[in-house]
Structure 1
């Protein structure tokens, strides 16, 4: 993990401060930026989101799908947690905490929007940072790569239906045209573009060319993320200043969701007899969120000023510290994990 990534939470906090300050000092500038839309898609944000997502997707080798059968236990557990548990558990936690327990402390007109943001956050598993978390747990690299490739393939067809179903159950009007456009713009097209770029780089310069490309674009990807956050908080500034507890309250269901889903995946892998080097990344992939996609979809569906956009950003704020805590738990518990019949971890190749 680079120094920049290690201190991502700090940079996000600084973006909050900068965004709120700039939004207060120059509101007309940010309103002008918000007006640069085509079919409800904000053009500056679309460019920033692409800069965030494409470098991450270039890392994914869909040829790794042929490795899926080698670790079928871990793959099965992760798919179950990612697609059958995580979005629904987050919706339940959103309804419980945001819709009921915390309702008196939150702006009444944003309750449904906050829940929608939490659903968007949980509806797609992470595609990039999980490689960092897997490495920190000495995870089996072939498993991690094949699992991420499979999740990306599923996300193309499953993201919109799951989001639409859960938003519908929450009695939130689903703008299907905008949702489908978001899936096309922020999943389908970036996946195709990234794979074309990857194939061309490998054909012309091999792995060295791919590494150079990622070395240039990866920092740019993080800068684009932070620039997007500044824009978001420039529009959310008044609401945050008026309700300073909003971010802390939104963090509660996200934290519970992460620990619940990572723990579930870890235990199911142990029960199935899977090796620890697979169970570790499985737990982390099972708990992680594709927050770049969530932020983009929330802006497209509900706008810059929405509670949905703010809720997805809270996921970015706590991503690094909470996932590092899961890494620590996985590493510290390896002896316990392997004590009752689970296969001893193989050294990553």
Structure 2
């Protein structure tokens, strides 16, 4: 690990501060960048996400995807947490904190809207950034890609009914243009580009050229992550300074939900005997959110200035620093995880892990 990567949390903190400050002092510039979007998908952020995830996708050998079925435990755990636990736990946390404990400190006419925004956020599992988190935990890339693709397919049919059920609405306006464009931009196009590059570099039968390119792209990938932070916090710099208390209160249930769901997925994978390289991305997929879809859905249902829209934006703001903390916990606890009896019995466990225990 390079010195830059070792102090990544420091750079993240500095980028957050820089983003808020720049967004406050130069709002016009950030408004102009924020306006460069199609179907509420910001194109500059999309380019930065490409720089983050294409190096990870370059490592994926599609021929090996056929063997991802051996990770059925991790797939089952992730699906259970994403669709049977996450939206419903957030509805409970929203009611407990926003609807009850924090009610005296929030605008009374926005309480229900805040809770709705939290539910919408939780009902949209992450698509693109999961590749970043998985890479930082040395996660199994084929499992990560398969799980993200499966989540995308389920989200098309399950997002609207789950949100409708929890919000008590008879119909949900799903921003299909945002959903389809996001999946295309963050999954389909990067996968195609990465596989074309990969096949070209491996044409001679040697991995030397691919390894050299990955070494050069790694710093660019981390720089893109930090630049994304600056943009996201810059876009909301004025709101953060104008409504710090409301944003802090909305962040509480989101934080609890992230740690609860990631911890639940991690523990269930350990109990099931799944490998750590699968449990890490499983926990991260179970905790992070597809914020483009959530923000778009909240705006389409409740309006740009609504409490629901603000609640989803808070999810955007805390996504990167919180997920980095989950990455840290997953990496630091690897020894404890692999000491589990069920994990030791996994027939697909790598030899290096078996000998280490």
TM-score interval for Structure 1 and Structure 2 normalised by the shorter chain: 0.7 to 0.9
- Structure 2 unmatched ranges of 5 or more: none
Residues in 2 aligned to 1:173 and 1:26: alpha-carbon distance in whole angstroms: 34
CA apart distance, 1:5: 3.8
User: Residues 126 and 288 of structure 2 are in contact (CA less than 8 Å); yes or no, is this contact kept in structure 1?
Assistant: no
Match for residue 232 of structure 1?
A: 232
CA apart distance, 1:156: 4.2
Aligned with 1:294 (options 283, 290, 294):
290
User: Residues 91 and 119 of structure 2 are in contact (CA less than 8 Å); yes or no, is this contact kept in structure 1?
Assistant: yes
User: Residues 298 and 312 of structure 1 are in contact (CA less than 8 Å); yes or no, is this contact kept in structure 2?
Assistant: no
The answer to which of 238-247 and 218-227 deviates more is 238-247
Match for residue 138 of structure 1?
A: none
Aligned length: 335
User: Residues 56 and 132 of structure 2 are in contact (CA less than 8 Å); yes or no, is this contact kept in structure 1?
Assistant: yes
CA apart distance, 1:316: 0.5
Match for residue 206 of structure 1?
A: 206
User: Residues 87 and 119 of structure 1 are in contact (CA less than 8 Å); yes or no, is this contact kept in structure 2?
Assistant: yes
Residues in 1 aligned to 2:206 and 2:189: alpha-carbon distance in whole angstroms: 24
CA apart distance, 1:175: 1.8
Match for residue 139 of structure 1?
A: none
What is the RMSD of the two structures over their aligned residues, measured on CA atoms? 3.7
CA apart distance, 1:342: 5.6
Residues in 1 aligned to 2:286 and 2:188: alpha-carbon distance in whole angstroms: 15
The answer to which of 326-335 and 30-39 deviates more is 326-335
Match for residue 32 of structure 1?
A: 32
Are 2:45 and 1:45 aligned? yes
Distance change >3 Å, CA 157–CA 23, structure 1 → 2: same
User: Residues 30 and 231 of structure 1 are in contact (CA less than 8 Å); yes or no, is this contact kept in structure 2?
Assistant: yes
Distance change >3 Å, CA 341–CA 313, structure 1 → 2: closer
User: 1:53-97: per-residue Cα shift (whole Å, max 9, x none)?
Assistant: 322322222322222344544454445445554455445545554
CA apart distance, 1:290: 9.1
Match for residue 174 of structure 2?
A: 174
CA apart distance, 1:288: 0.4
- 3-state DSSP of counterpart to 1:120: coil
Distance change >3 Å, CA 100–CA 155, structure 1 → 2: same
Alignment of 1:10-159 (within 5 A): 10-82=10-82, 84-86=84-86, 88-90=88-90, 92-94=92-94, 96-98=96-98, 101-105=101-105, 108=110, 111=114, 112-120=116-124, 126-134=130-138, 144-159=140-155
- 3-state DSSP of counterpart to 2:131: coil
CA apart distance, 1:265: 3.7
Distance change >3 Å, CA 3–CA 10, structure 1 → 2: same
CA apart distance, 1:131: 3.8
User: 1:94-113: per-residue Cα shift (whole Å, max 9, x none)?
Assistant: 55545654455456387244
User: 1:214-258: per-residue Cα shift (whole Å, max 9, x none)?
Assistant: 222232222222222222222312221233345544444444344
Residues in 1 aligned to 2:270 and 2:145: alpha-carbon distance in whole angstroms: 23
- 3-state DSSP of counterpart to 1:65: helix
Residues in 1 aligned to 2:224 and 2:128: alpha-carbon distance in whole angstroms: 20
The answer to which of 206-215 and 107-116 deviates more is 107-116
- 3-state DSSP of counterpart to 1:194: helix
User: 1:1-30: per-residue Cα shift (whole Å, max 9, x none)?
Assistant: 544344333323222221222222222222
Are 2:336 and 1:332 aligned? yes
Q: Normalised by the size of structure 1, how large is the TM-score?
A: 0.77
Distance change >3 Å, CA 260–CA 55, structure 1 → 2: same
- Structure 1 unmatched ranges of 5 or more: 136-143
Residues in 2 aligned to 1:287 and 1:126: alpha-carbon distance in whole angstroms: 10
